A and B are shown apart, each in its own frame.
Chain A
Amino acid sequence: MAVKGFEGRDLARAAVFAAIIVVLGIAGAIPVGPVPITLQTLGVMLAGVVLGPKRAAIAVGIVLVLVAVGLPVLSGGRGGLGVFAGPSAGYLIGWLPGAVVAGLIAKSSAARISWWRTALGALVGGIGVVYALGIPVQAAILGMPLHEAAVGSLIFIPGDLVKVVLATVLALALHRAYPRAFESGAAAKPAAQHA
């Protein structure tokens, strides 16, 4: 066992969610400037609020490594190290702590899933944290003043707010349809035995 408490079931879920994020990228991107508007951020929010911080970190981490090793897993079939030298690098790297924070907030209570904790998680993690890394890195890479990069990022806000609402609605529907999705590997199969 590589990481304590992280077993095959968690690994499989992280990999599946990474694949979902990749597939959401196939839906395409809207090029509104140097950083695209993409549905993949919805996948990042969902990973956080559904899988919880640990598995979401692995899921998003997988996507980032796949980008780095040169697979076209980002929207519009982009990938490769060039992305990490480009203006969207900060947002992209921000997905990782973003998903973790989303998971921490959404799952901050052991009680039943709640719509407001889910929404808050998606908002703070999926927007707050992602932008907090994305804006400064974009400013640095493009050699522009921070406030300009910040103003420029306003173009993502409407779309990202919609994604927060979608992530919340989808997570709650998923909880009705398949509550096990929200349990950890060990809990999802209580009596099952693992090596």
Chain B
Amino acid sequence: MISLYRPGSSPLHRMPAGAKLALGAVLAVAVSVWPHTAVTATVTLAAVFGLFALAGFGPLEWLRQVWAIRWIVAFVAVMQLVFSGPLEAYITTVRIAAVVLLAALLTITTRTSDLLEALQTVLAPLRRFGVDPWRVAFTLSLTIALVPVIADFLRRIREAQRARGVRLGFRAVVPLLVMSLRHADDVADALSARGIA
């Protein structure tokens, strides 16, 4: 599975994941609760694009990211236009877009593995309650490794239907679940054998 991370060497890329997340969260909350005017909202959005630029992403990437949230933008704009008038519509749409884009920026400048490590640090205090941070991180990696395997099961079941000239429709989920859960038992054996869980 390909992460949404975009490699780079900007200050944002190099910033430690934990600090970046904390800062991002603070900024997002601030933008959300600040009583915006048309001007402050515009400035905020411009600032977010400024951060994209700082991370080395030009207008092409801005467009790409805005395109990704087109449904949200369109919906908010239309709803607000109908119920609150054009000014409110502008302010709200821009504010929401700014927050979502900011969060997306965190994602594209931070490696998945760094986020996983930050997660382990965050979880460390939970050790006392019986949570093993290493195990949590491992489970996430295991799931990532399993996605192509399960997708392949689905492909094979589709193929078997075609070969037998039948169409199970949604009932094809049953053999998928059987194969997947039996696979889980094999994986569990491998976990035990390798001393992991």
Contacts and interface: CB of A to CB of B under 8 A. Distances in A.
Contact of A85 (B79, B99, B187, B195): B99
B139 A11 contact: yes
Interface stretch (B8-16, B38-46, B50-58, B104-112): B104-112
Contacts of A65: 119, 140
Interface residues of A, number: 65
Interface string A1-28: 0111001110111111111101100100
Contacts of B143: 15, 18-19, 22, 62, 66
A81 interface: yes
Contacts, number: 196
Contact of A71 (B4, B69, B130): B4
B160 interface: no
B34 interface: no
A16 B107 contact: no
A82 interface: yes
Contacts of A86: 69, 72, 100
Contact of A33 (B75, B92, B176, B177): B75
Contact of A19 (B79, B130, B135, B146): B146
A79 B72 contact: no
Consensus secondary structure, chain B interface? helix
A79 B4 contact: yes
B187 A12 contact: yes
Interface stretch (A90-98, A99-107, A117-125, A169-177): A169-177
Interface stretch (A108-116, A128-136, A180-188): A180-188
Interface string A37-68: 00000000010001000000010001001101
A26 B2 CA distance: 13
B188 A11 contact: yes
Contact of A4 (B21, B130, B188, B196): B130
Interface string B1-43: 1111100000000000000010010001000000000000000
A169 B187 CA distance: 27
A53 B92 CA distance: 38
17 contacts: A2-B132, A7-B188, A11-B135, A11-B139, A12-B142, A19-B147, A23-B154, A33-B71, A69-B115, A71-B112, A79-B4, A82-B100, A82-B103, A83-B103, A84-B103, A169-B171, A195-B195
Give the top 6 A-B pairs by smallest Cβ distance, nearest first.
Answer: A80-B107, A8-B197, A81-B103, A82-B104, A70-B107, A19-B146
